[in-house]
């Protein structure tokens, strides 16, 4: 792999943020993004058997639309310094498991001769983001032997299942309402509802009355529950790359499987790049052990908020 200069990557990102990207810029961005696959594979080899063992580990390459939105939102952001082009997500049963796991990784990456350096941690569990988002983020910088990848970053998200249900419900709502709560935008009522739900899932029973009042007037839980997708019949459950593409207009989800070999990975990325140019289609390329686990890791692409709805209703019924 030839090393792309940071200057070229930065320029392509700047053009993307200004909606002035050309085919050469898109090729540079795609090549830059694809190079992070090795980082994800290397990190997971190190962390997958550490205790407490995650319920599920998945990895994804950041969508072009998400890259563009982030560059637009942060004026000083440069593509070559973006920390979450590659993202690994690990799910756990409890906050305690998350903190214990993070502490164990901290010990590992404080030792010499590791492939990564832990450069940043953000605890959004002890103190959530303003929108209610809860997760524990760890940013790693690659310092291994591959010179062309030196100093590239990768993000590890540690979540409980409850954090995960909430975050994916927000993403589902954004998809169907064409809003962007995740980016701090969207309708104020919607943002308030999901913020209150985050607090409820975190044990705050004082928000119950307001949640019930908002839902009674706006039927948010019912609307989430009524969402459905038509999915192609993908029967394979192998370890590999899965390209999920959701058509907003028809609510049809297409899943394509690719093997782990280099030729298949190139084909996967070429298809991913092509689909990202299609209007009204949201695509993501995920590395995971089976299509069944894909739905657990990324239920937003299946418009499946049933676990979120179940947890919210359970707490409303118990505490009301």
Q: What is the pLDDT of residues 153-181, one digit of tens each?
A: 999 999 999 999 999 999 999 888 877 78
pTM: 0.91
Ordered structural domains, the chain, with CATH: 6-160 (3.30.460.10), 230-302 (no CATH)
DSSP state string for 138-178: EEEEE-SS-GGGTT-EEEEEEEEHHHHHHHHHHHHHHHHHT
Please state, rounded to an integer, the average pLDDT across all residues of the chain. 92
Half-sphere exposure of 221 (CA within 13 A, CB side): 19
Q: Which residues of the chain have pLDDT under 70?
A: 1-2, 233-235, 319-320
Tokens representing 21?
């990207």
| Predicted local confidence at residue 319, as pLDDT | 60
Return the closest-CA partner of residue 211 out of 95, 314, 94, 93: 314
pLDDT, tens digit (0-9, with 9 covering 90-100), for 193-225: 999 999 999 999 999 999 999 999 999 999 999
Tokens representing 16?
């993307």
84 vs 47: CA distance, rounded Å = 18
Report how many helices (DSSP H) and strands (DSSP E) the chain contains, helices first: 12, 9
142 dihedral zone (left: phi>0; alpha: psi -120 to 50; beta)? beta
**E strands in 17-173:** 56-61, 86-92, 116-123, 136-142, 153-160
């Amino acid at each position: 792999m030839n090393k792309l200069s940071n200057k070229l990557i930065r320029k392509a990102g700047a053009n993307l943020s200004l909606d002035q990207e050309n085919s050469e810029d898109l090729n540079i961005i795609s090549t830059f993004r694809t190079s992070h696959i090795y980082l994800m594979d290397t990190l997971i080899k190190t962390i997958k058997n550490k205790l407490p063992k995650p319920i599920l580990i998945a990895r994804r390459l950041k969508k072009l639309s998400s890259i563009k939105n982030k560059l637009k939102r942060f004026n000083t952001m440069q593509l070559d310094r973006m920390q979450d082009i590659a993202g690994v997500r690990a799910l756990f049963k409890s906050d305690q498991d998350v903190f214990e796991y993070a502490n164990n990784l901290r010990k590992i990456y404080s030792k010499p001769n590791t492939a990564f350096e832990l450069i940043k941690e953000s605890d959004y569990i002890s103190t959530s983001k303003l929108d209610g988002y809860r997760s524990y983020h760890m940013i790693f910088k690659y310092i291994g032997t591959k010179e062309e990848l030196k100093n590239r970053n990768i993000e590890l998200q540690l979540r409980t299942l409850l954090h995960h249900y909430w975050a994916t419900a927000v993403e589902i709502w954004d998809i169907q309402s064409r809003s962007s709560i995740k980016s701090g935008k969207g309708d104020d009522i919607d943002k308030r509802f999901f913020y209150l739900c985050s607090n409820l899932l975190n044990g705050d029973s004082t928000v119950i009355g307001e949640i019930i009042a908002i839902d009674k007037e706006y039927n948010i839980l019912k609307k989430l529950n009524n969402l459905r997708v038509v999915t192609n019949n993908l029967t394979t459950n192998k370890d590999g790359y899965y390209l999920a593409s959701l058509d907003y207009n028809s609510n049809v989800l297409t899943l394509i499987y690719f093997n782990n070999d280099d030729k298949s990975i190139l084909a996967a990325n070429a298809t991913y790049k092509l689909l990202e140019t299609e209007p009204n289609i949201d695509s993501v390329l995920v590395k995971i052990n089976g299509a069944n686990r894909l739905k657990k890791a990324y239920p937003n692409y299946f418009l499946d908020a049933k676990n979120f709805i179940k947890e919210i209703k359970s707490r409303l019924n118990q505490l009301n």
